[in-house]
Amino acid sequence: MPFSSEQYRGYSRWVAERAMANNGNLPLWWINGEVRVSWELEIPRKTVDIIVEAVRQRLNELCGLRFAFKLFGQHESFVEQLNACALNGQVDQEKLFSLASMESWRDESNGGRQHADVYITAKPFLGDAVSWGAADFNFGVMFFALYGQRYSHQSFLRTIALHEAGHLAGMPTHCEYLRIKGYAKNTCNMNSDLSSDGLCSKCKEYFRIFWETINQEYGTYLCGQMMDF
């Protein structure tokens, strides 16, 4: 049964409220407007730049924030976390997400600072040869599995990075699963078939309501200068 528009807006609010009610454990990764990017040695800088630009564009569009991207490359804590989550050269993504979201670098009481993490690896997901990426608002983490020649598919990587930025910005599902009366099946970047770089009006409305709900609770933070290094 398709949702009515009112039910759909209610769903978006509910996802945001459920995330905030998560026992106070929701990492407020967006509040400092900072995203840290790490990548494995096998990943060319050109690939990193394509992903960063796509994520920058989409987060700005969806959260209304200008994020500063700090480019860490092969930082030792990234290598440690990745090794801790790798099994036979494959990455246990759930473990990586919880490690990253709890790292001391994010812990303000420990001299850390909240931020999101983007991990660009040359390893596959554990037991999954199909997925290219994953991201989750509840952890503030994005992961790419660019093994083999995957790093070289530049325009597809841009489409995927835009899509994962949508998951990071608060959509846990895909466009085709959220049917609304009066909306046809859309060409949309949040479809699981990645049929477009653009977002349909239904998904734009989802993100508008989502961030309205988040900002009502935490206030709107406006910050972020380009601080690439």
**Spatial CA neighbour of 72 closest among 104, 120, 112:** 120
Q: Would you say 126 or 188 has its CB closer to Zn ion?
A: 188
Could you tell me if 56 and 69 are in contact, meaning their C-beta atoms sit under 8 angstroms apart? yes
Here's the x/- map for Zn ion, 146-175, by CB under 5 A: it reads as: -----------------------------x
Output the smallest distance, CB 85 to Zn ion, in A: 20
Output the smallest distance, CB 80 to Zn ion, in A: 27
203 binds Zn ion (CB under 5 A): yes
Neighbour tally for 224: CB within 10 Å = 18
Q: Please choose, out of 4-12, 85-93, 182-190, 214-222, the segment that lies near Zn ion by the rule CB under 5 A.
A: 182-190
200 binds Zn ion (CB under 5 A): yes
The tokens for 4 are 């009515």
**Spatial CA neighbour of 54 closest among 152, 157, 131:** 157
List phi, psi (to 5°) of 165. -65, -35
Here's the x/- map for Zn ion, 93-112, by CB under 5 A: it reads as: --------------------
Amino acid at residue number 212:
E
Output the smallest distance, CB 109 to Zn ion, in A: 34
188 binds Zn ion (CB under 5 A): yes
Distance between first and last Cα of the chain: 49
Q: Please choose, out of 9-17, 39-47, 187-195, 211-219, the segment that lies near Zn ion by the rule CB under 5 A.
A: 187-195
82 binds Zn ion (CB under 5 A): no
CA quadruple 96, 102, 108, 109: dihedral sign: negative
Q: Would you say 42 or 94 has its CB closer to Zn ion?
A: 94
Residue 55 to residue 162: CA distance in whole angstroms: 6
Q: Which residues bind Zn ion (CB under 5 A)?
A: 175, 186, 188, 190, 200, 203
